[in-house]
Amino acid sequence: MTENRTLITTATAILLLCLATAVGSSWAEGVDQPRLALKGYDPVAYFTESRPIPGNPDYEFVFDEVRYRFASAEHLALFRNDPDRYAPRYRGLCAMGLAAKGYKVTANPENWTIHQGRLYVTQRDFGPPIFRKDPKRWIASANVNVEALKDVPIGSALSWW
């Protein structure tokens, strides 16, 4: 009986240790790593390839408290040399969500446009065509709202009305 109890206690301890290790490492990854922008897509590819391309975890760079991935060492070098040129506006948040509703949400990297040499991404596929109709309006509004939302987490909004 004592042998069974010892075996159960040992097995329980091992299980708890494994669980604590798994949870601890997951938690540590979230705390130690800045947010991944563009869901891991390469920001330079929009300019050089005229399309979104998934980045490679081997080529990462943190800029403006956001982590970016690149498809190649060449793209990483281009970004490093001029991050303001290649980084998406609003750190990869939805430009239209910020502009139209004051929503701070991540964008879908497949929904994008380049305006005056700057990359803008949106959550919904109808965002880029609407943005292109009046970019000055949307940029001005997004610039105001992104500043108002700078200290709140993603998923926050200025108002529900």
pTM over 0.85: no
Q: What is the pLDDT of residues 53-68, one digit of tens each?
A: 999 999 999 999 999 9
**pLDDT given for residue 31 in this prediction:** 58
**pLDDT given for residue 101 in this prediction:** 82
If one compares 69 and 9, the residue with the highest pLDDT of the two is 69
Compute the distance between CA of residue 13 and CA of residue 16 in angstroms, rounded to an integer: 5
**19-23, 65-69, 72-76, 150-154, range with the lowest pLDDT:** 19-23
**pLDDT given for residue 153 in this prediction:** 87
Confidence bin at 156 (pLDDT 50/70/90): confident
Angle at 54 between CA 79 and CA 87, to 5 degrees: 30
Bridging pattern class, strands 66-70 and 35-36: parallel
Compute the distance between CA of residue 95 and CA of residue 112 in angstroms, rounded to an integer: 10
Q: What is the pLDDT of residues 98-139, one digit of tens each?
A: 999 899 999 999 999 999 999 999 999 999 999 999 999 999
